[in-house]
């Protein structure tokens, strides 16, 4: 079993930055692909970023949705069982509940991930 808890959400102005954290339980964290998804009001949950398993403090191999490339950075610290999402140059359209997810293989679809956190709200004002 893997338990995921997101934190770091909040209210920021457009152009600002925010860093989300996802703390995972268990000793198998390093073997999972960790993904970030978001869901805006009235929209489907969508892929944001993912990072492949690593065993040292490293950003690893990261992948991003086109909408966030160049602005968001995903990284992981296996020693702390934590994955991060650094969000810069935030836009109002980034407003959503952000979810951390874990799965056995890389993917950009919801079904690629087995475990999910409860989400953290990110609101970007104009």
CA-based nearest residue to 38, from 98, 82, 109: 98
pLDDT digits (tens, 9 = 90+) for 53-81: 865 444 558 999 999 999 999 998 878 88
Q: Which helix (H) or strand (E) holds 3?
A: none
User: 3-state DSSP call for residue 92?
Assistant: helix
User: Do 102 and 119 meet the contact criterion of CB atoms below 8 Å apart?
Assistant: no
Instruction: Look up residue 101 and give its two tokens.
Output: 């997810």
Report the C-alpha gap between 54 and 28 in whole angstroms.
Answer: 11
pLDDT digits (tens, 9 = 90+) for 7-57: 999 999 999 999 999 999 876 677 889 999 999 999 999 999 999 886 544
Q: What is the pLDDT of residue 49?
A: 97
Report the C-alpha gap between 95 and 14 in whole angstroms.
Answer: 10
């Amino acid at each position: 079993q893997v338990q995921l808890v997101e934190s770091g959400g909040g209210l920021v102005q457009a152009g600002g930055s925010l860093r989300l954290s996802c703390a995972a339980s268990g000793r198998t964290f390093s073997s999972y692909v960790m993904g970030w998804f978001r869901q805006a009001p009235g929209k489907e949950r969508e892929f944001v970023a993912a990072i492949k398993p690593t065993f040292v403090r490293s950003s690893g191999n990261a992948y991003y949705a086109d909408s966030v490339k160049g602005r968001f950075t995903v990284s992981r610290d296996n020693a702390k069982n934590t994955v991060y999402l650094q969000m810069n140059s935030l836009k109002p359209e980034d407003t959503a509940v952000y979810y951390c997810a874990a799965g056995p293989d890389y993917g950009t679809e919801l079904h690629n991930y087995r475990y999910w956190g409860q989400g953290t709200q990110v609101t970007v004002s104009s």
